Amino acid sequence: MIRINEIKLDVGHSEEELRRAIEKKLRLYNRNFTYELVKMSYDCRIKHPLKVVYSVEIRLDSDSEEEKLVKKIKNKNIMSTKRVEFNPIVKNVPSFDRRPIVIGTGPAGLFCGYILALNGFNPILLERGKCVEERFKDVDAFWQEKEKLNPDSNVQFGEGGAGTFSDGKLNTSAKDKNGQQRFILKSFVECGAPEDILYLSNPHIGTDYLKNVVSNLRKKIIALGGEIHFSSKVVDFIMDKNGIEIKGVVLEDGSKLLGDHVVLAIGHSARDTFEMLLDKGVHIEQKPFAVGIRIEHPRTQIDALQYKEHYGKVKLPTANYKMTYHASNKRSVFTFCMCPGGYVVNASSEEGCIVVNGMSNHARMADNSNSAVVASVTPDDYKGESPLAGIDFQRQLEQAAFIEGKGRIPIQLFEDFKNNTVSTEYGGVKACTKGAVAFGNIRRCLPESISSAIIEAVCAWDKNMPGYARADSLVLGVESRTSSPVKIVRNKELNSNIKGLYPCGEGAGYAGGIMSAAQDGIRVAMAVIKA
């Protein structure tokens, strides 16, 4: 194949114009060729005309013809390439006496189970929460205050994991050296995700699409011989007599499942499971993470700030942003999980605690755009030497937020957040949330060093995005579950110190988002197959 980067065309161009641009780059006049989009993005720099930027891969009649053409053209943006396709089927797979067990059905657990099922292992997937259809009903009832929080069926727990109620971002900084990322994206498309995730520079699915995607992936696993059991919380492990090898799991209802290969694909909110693991002697370490707030601005304001003079002239996707800052008190501050045209949601999973997250539907057309603005925390911020000290730290912030909002999401104008006062009314920005809100002072929910670092960062970003620090932008809290506060140690065979127990995904400390979690699920599935 031939890869061409940096093909720039006007917004709204035709397919024929793209084809002619390829012909011109390769001097392929009156020649047959096929092409596939690899990447599409926008160049919105104010000093340049607005352009759509493409990378494409082209096929000619033969590899030799492609190589001759690349050598002849001598352009750094035109090169020979060979796409690596991931093959999920392993040759000469072993046979197991007992079926592998996967705990958790977030992206890591689902893709681990999918790979195991594709290879004929008939895995058993256990999920403490409900199937995605029932889970949506529980979450909506909680948001509308019709039902109390269900600790096992909420934004954090249930089929699809926490990512189901998010923006559904699929970008990752890791290169796709083995083709696994494209395999994951193709699998999502097969399950109902939009095809544009295969080439958009910042692909996302959206919560409204994710519901069906997750359900269809479950159906694939079952059709291949796997089983998925909902409302099946694992509360204990069955070990060998020496306590060094896994032999099965115990469920909350007292039933037991025997298995020599158990994948631990729990989310990072499974705090009770972390406590059980520590009691069983599983090696767990403290890990840095980040905490802070969500900030809301009008969607149209962020679009105008990002697209500048191009805003309103042509149809463009809802704008996103990503920013970092190093505060004077040495805290690193950054935006996280930015949700263009989305909602701030009550993502609580424990009674007496409030946690917020961001969520967007595929169209990203809600009135506001929001992002987490978080500051780094390290084990130096925790009290105590326990591997679970970070969880205690998170819980303290969440309990303070519950008190501050009287059981609802505490909300505050940015100017009042700066001045350490409770807001009494909205300005020009109205809350765009899923879950009830109440005015409060979020400064009382966070360590002062984190609040001051966030304020400093927001004001600094205002220089490049004028209006970002507007007085009536909205601050909501707390954003405390950016990533796992622990790492469950695993060896080169991906076992924990308990043989046959495989820590996997975001909760175990080996991923950070849908794509990396799904990829770690594949990685662990391959380790199980080769065990």
Confidence of residue 28 (pLDDT cuts 50, 70, 90): confident
For residue 170, what pLDDT is reported? 94
- The H helix count followed by the E strand count for the chain is 12, 24
pLDDT at 49 over 80: no
For residue 46, what pLDDT is reported? 62
Q: Is 361 in a helix, a strand, or coil? A: coil
Residue pLDDT, tens place only, 115-133? 999 999 999 999 999 999 9
Residue pLDDT, tens place only, 224-249? 999 999 999 999 999 999 999 999 99
The pairing of beta strand 262-264 with beta strand 101-103: parallel
Confidence of residue 2 (pLDDT cuts 50, 70, 90): very high
Write down the pTM of the prediction. 0.95
Name residue, tokens 């679009």.
303
Helix (H) or strand (E) holding 451: helix 448-461
pLDDT at 92 over 90: no
For residue 74, what pLDDT is reported? 87
For residue 44, what pLDDT is reported? 78
CB proximity list for 87: less than 8 A, separation 6 or greater: none
Helix (H) or strand (E) holding 297: strand 289-298
Domains and CATH numbers, the chain: 2-80 (3.30.70.2700), 101-285+487-529 (3.50.50.60), 288-479 (no CATH)
For residue 83, what pLDDT is reported? 87
Confidence of residue 328 (pLDDT cuts 50, 70, 90): very high
Residue 44 vs residue 73, higher pLDDT = 73
Most confident of 43-57, 308-322, 498-512: 498-512
For residue 172, what pLDDT is reported? 82
Q: Average of pLDDT values for 263-281?
A: 96
pLDDT at 48 over 80: no
Confidence of residue 315 (pLDDT cuts 50, 70, 90): confident
Report the distance separating Cα 138 and Cα 150, nearest Å: 7
DSSP secondary structure code for residue 170 in this structure: -
The pairing of beta strand 51-59 with beta strand 2-10: antiparallel
Residue pLDDT, tens place only, 346-356? 999 999 999 99
Mean pLDDT, rounded, of the chain: 95
Confidence of residue 268 (pLDDT cuts 50, 70, 90): very high
Residue pLDDT, tens place only, 141-167? 999 999 999 999 999 999 999 999 999
Return phi, psi of residue 463, to 5°.
Answer: -70, -35
pLDDT at 516 over 80: yes
Helix (H) or strand (E) holding 289: strand 289-298
Return phi, psi of residue 296, to 5°.
Answer: -115, 135
Q: Average of pLDDT values for 244-270?
A: 97
For residue 313, what pLDDT is reported? 84
Return phi, psi of residue 193, to 5°.
Answer: -75, 155
Residue pLDDT, tens place only, 433-467? 999 999 999 999 999 999 999 999 999 999 999 99
Residue pLDDT, tens place only, 393-415? 999 999 999 999 999 999 999 99
pLDDT at 264 over 70: yes
Amino acid at residue number 126: L
For residue 261, what pLDDT is reported? 98
For residue 50, what pLDDT is reported? 84
Determine whether 175 is exposed, middle or buried from the number of CB atoms within 10 Å of its CB (0-12, 13-18, 19+).
exposed
pLDDT at 359 over 70: yes
Residue pLDDT, tens place only, 368-385? 999 999 999 999 998 889
Residue pLDDT, tens place only, 167-216? 999 988 788 889 999 999 999 999 999 999 999 999 999 999 999 999 99
For residue 246, what pLDDT is reported? 97
For residue 103, what pLDDT is reported? 98
Q: Average of pLDDT values for 268-294?
A: 97
Say if CB 293 and CB 454 are below 8 A apart: yes
Q: Average of pLDDT values for 333-338?
A: 96
Q: Average of pLDDT values for 484-492?
A: 97
Name residue, tokens 């595929």.
362
